[in-house]
């Protein structure tokens, strides 16, 4: 049986075509507009949530009017001290307006923040002091 | 992530070389499915890292990358090539599926070195210098292996007659 030369044999082999490969799963890039929205929407949501958080936080904290802006307390009303955190600024103000250090401390303890008792009512402290006098 | 133009060029590269690359990978692993995975791995790495610019000879680089990917897989080192039950590797001339099986049998009968050189030269269309680069051997060794491979392949296939009867 005659055997063809190398060149002919190579030609014969090349007639066999390798089978095609499966398509490549290419990760496609998102279009620019889609990328823009995919960034903007979560960012906007975060900003809105932060804004809501700070708004609610601001509402729940009582606003303390500065000493000078406090309304004058009408006669016949008493004030009750309530426990509120003292800021450095408020402490400085009290020290500046008080005649002595002891007076400033008294102010801090009893007069710094006051709640007005409705007219015609007495605070428990006043009622007790009246009973003592009797 | 490479640009859209780079992705397009990598896809073109895949379309033009993937068939030969999968065949080369199958000649090493003996399994077309694993060969396909290895080739896709190489191209997906290219898509992630954009490493095309580093290669001076792109074709040789791709074949070398596929070979390295397979050899890095420990299972491949311990596996002999077997075509039993394996799906077709070639689209045969005149739909001669018997000749296709015959060629696969003959290829499987070659040593690993000879089979790789044959596939790289005949279907990968690499020169012996490029084959030398891919396999890490000299060009003379590549040419010598090819000559032996061709002789063995022809003898094996002539046992089943087809290529010899034409001459």
ipTM: 0.85
Chain A residues close to B126, C-beta within 8 Å? none
Q: Is the dihedral of CA B3, B9, B12, B16 positive or negative?
A: negative
B22 contacts in chain A (CB < 8 Å): 18-19, 21
| Shortest Cα distance, chain B CAs vs residue A39, angstroms | 18
Contacting residues of A for B88, CB less than 8 Å apart: 19
Tens-digit pLDDT profile for residues A32-66 = 666 677 778 888 889 889 988 888 877 766 555 55
Q: What is the rounded average pLDDT for all residues in chain B? A: 86
Residues whose CB falls within 8 Å of the CB of residue B152, separated by 6 or more in sequence, listed in order: B106, B109, B110, B114
Weakest mean pLDDT among A116-125, B4-13, B75-84 = B75-84
Phi/psi region, residue B85 (left: phi>0; alpha: psi -120 to 50; beta: rest), is: left
* Structure token pair of residue A61: 């904290």
> pTM (2 decimals)?
0.61
- How confident is the model over B10-47, as pLDDT tens digits? 888 999 999 999 999 999 988 888 899 999 999 998 88
Contacts of A3 in chain B (CB under 8 A): 154, 158, 164, 167
Residue B146 pLDDT: 96
Q: How far is B82 from chain A, CA to nearest CA, in Å? A: 18
What part of A 4-33 touches B (C-beta under 8 Å)? Answer: 4, 6, 8-10, 12-22, 24-27, 29
Nearest to A15 among B11, B14, B93 (CB): B93
CA nearest B149 in A: which residue?
Answer: A6
User: Residue B154 and residue A14: Cβ atoms within 8 Å?
Assistant: no
Residue count of chain B: 167
Helix, strand, coil shares of chain A, percent, nearest 5, are 55, 5, 40
Contact A13 B93 (CB under 8 A): no
């Amino acid at each position: 049986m005659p055997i063809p030369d190398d060149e002919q044999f190579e030609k014969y082999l090349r007639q066999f075509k390798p089978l095609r490969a499966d398509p490549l799963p290419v990760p496609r890039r998102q279009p620019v507009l889609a990328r823009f929205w995919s960034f903007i929407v979560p960012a906007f949501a975060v900003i809105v949530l932060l804004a809501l958080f700070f708004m609610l936080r601001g509402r729940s904290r009582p606003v303390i009017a500065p000493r000078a802006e406090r309304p004058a307390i009408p006669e016949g009303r008493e004030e009750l001290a309530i426990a509120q955190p003292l800021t450095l600024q408020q402490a400085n103000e009290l020290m500046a307006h008080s005649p002595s250090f002891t007076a400033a401390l008294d102010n801090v303890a009893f007069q710094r923040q006051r709640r007005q008792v409705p007219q015609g009512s007495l605070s428990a402290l006043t009622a007790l002091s009246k009973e003592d006098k009797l | 992530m490479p640009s859209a133009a780079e992705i397009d060029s990598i896809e073109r590269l895949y379309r033009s070389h993937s068939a030969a690359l999968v065949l080369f990978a199958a000649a090493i692993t003996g399994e077309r499915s694993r060969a396909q995975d290895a080739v896709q791995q190489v191209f997906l790495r290219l898509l992630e890292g954009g490493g095309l610019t580093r290669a001076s000879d792109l074709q040789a680089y791709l074949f070398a990358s596929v070979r390295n990917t397979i050899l890095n897989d420990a299972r491949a080192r311990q596996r002999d090539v077997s075509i039993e039950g394996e799906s077709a590797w070639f689209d045969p001339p005149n739909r001669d599926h018997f000749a296709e099986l015959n060629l696969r049998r003959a290829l499987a009968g070659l040593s690993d070195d000879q089979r790789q050189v044959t596939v790289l030269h005949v279907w990968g269309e690499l020169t012996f210098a490029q084959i030398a680069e891919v396999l890490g051997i000299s060009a003379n060794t590549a040419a010598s292996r090819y000559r032996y491979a061709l002789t063995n392949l022809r003898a094996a296939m002539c046992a089943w007659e087809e290529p010899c009867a034409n001459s």
